[in-house]
Amino acid sequence: MQSFSITLFTAFIYGVSCNNPPQLQQNYVFNVKEDVPVGTIIGRITAVDLDGPQELTFSSSNQLTSDIVSLTNPMGSSSVGRSVNMVLNHMLDRELRTDYDLEFDVTDGYNKVHFYVRIVCLDVNDNSPRFLSPSYSKAISSRSPVGMIVLFVVASDIDSGLGGQIQYSLESDDPSDLTYFFINTQAGLLMTKAPLISIIYHEFKMRAVATDGYGLKGHVNVTITVSNYAIPTAPPTHSLITPSLPPVTGRGFLIG
């Protein structure tokens, strides 16, 4: 009897110590677009375990992973491949984070294997260009030359690729405004296009438009005041050295 118990115990130890851990089928990397809706299956994980002792079970191993995905119930036999699907718990935002290394455990009831699944967030053009200033305005003289740079507008777009590339244009409710001004499509330089000399005073109220490579637009109001008044300029900077008057060398005239 004692010999039987020792044999059984030895077999148990041998069996457990020789038990093979679960094997993942591959290193998993999934590309997921940032507009994929909640509840979508974004990937399937499969592991194999030939010798038990139990069918494989999978679990998330940290809070971040649980926040991003849930796992479905396992499907299939461990001996040929047991799988779980990852279901998205909240929408991704590539502009906040471009990738995640999710962490999971898979166990056969004896061995627990920790593994990572990489999620790469793919961009969608979900942002319109935004101007850095809420509005632009400038006063110029009606004697300003054609081709003069009046101001420059700047917009940014946080999407990648074409979705982040901006071209500028100018709009106005009064189309005749656009005979006097135009905007450089790449650099956002707003310039004079025609002589303004006939204008005594006028406020040109226009809109600069930034358009990304897929057609999303951002707008900003631009006011250019043209007048034939003197345009105030910044006062000259004062020098610490007071200039002395030049010596009087000319001749005076006696009027009488």
**Per CB under 5 A, does 107 bind Ca ion?**
no
- Among 49, 82, 119, 180, the residue binding Ca ion under the rule CB under 5 A is 49
| Shorter beta-carbon distance to Ca ion: residue 46 or 127 | 127
| Shorter beta-carbon distance to Ca ion: residue 57 or 125 | 125
Region from 35-43, 47-55, 97-105, 147-155 binding Ca ion, contact rule CB under 5 A: 47-55
**Per CB under 5 A, does 125 bind Ca ion?**
yes
- Among 10, 14, 16, 20, the residue binding Ca ion under the rule CB under 5 A is 20
| Shorter beta-carbon distance to Ca ion: residue 20 or 62 | 20
**Per CB under 5 A, does 25 bind Ca ion?**
no
Give a three-class secondary structure readout of the chain: CHHHHHHHHHHHHHHHHCCCCCEECCCEEEEEECCCCCCCEEEEEEEECCCCCCCCEEEECCHHHHHHEEECCCECCCCCCEEEEEEECCCCCCCCCCEEEEEEEEECCCCEEEEEEEEEEECCCCCCCEECCCEEEEEEECCCCCCCEEEECCEECCCCHHHHCEEEEEECCCHHHHHCEEECCCCCEEEECCCCCCCCEEEEEEEEEEEECCCCEEEEEEEEEEECCCCCCCCCCCCCCCCCCCCCCCCCCCCC
- Among 212, 220, 222, 224, the residue binding Ca ion under the rule CB under 5 A is 212
| Shorter beta-carbon distance to Ca ion: residue 82 or 94 | 94
Scan residues 175-194 and list those touching Ca ion (CB under 5 A): none
Tell me the site size for Ca ion, rule CB under 5 A.
14
- Among 157, 196, 220, 224, the residue binding Ca ion under the rule CB under 5 A is 157
**Per CB under 5 A, does 121 bind Ca ion?**
no
Residues at the interface with Ca ion (CB under 5 A): 19-20, 49, 51, 94, 108, 123, 125-127, 157, 159, 163, 212
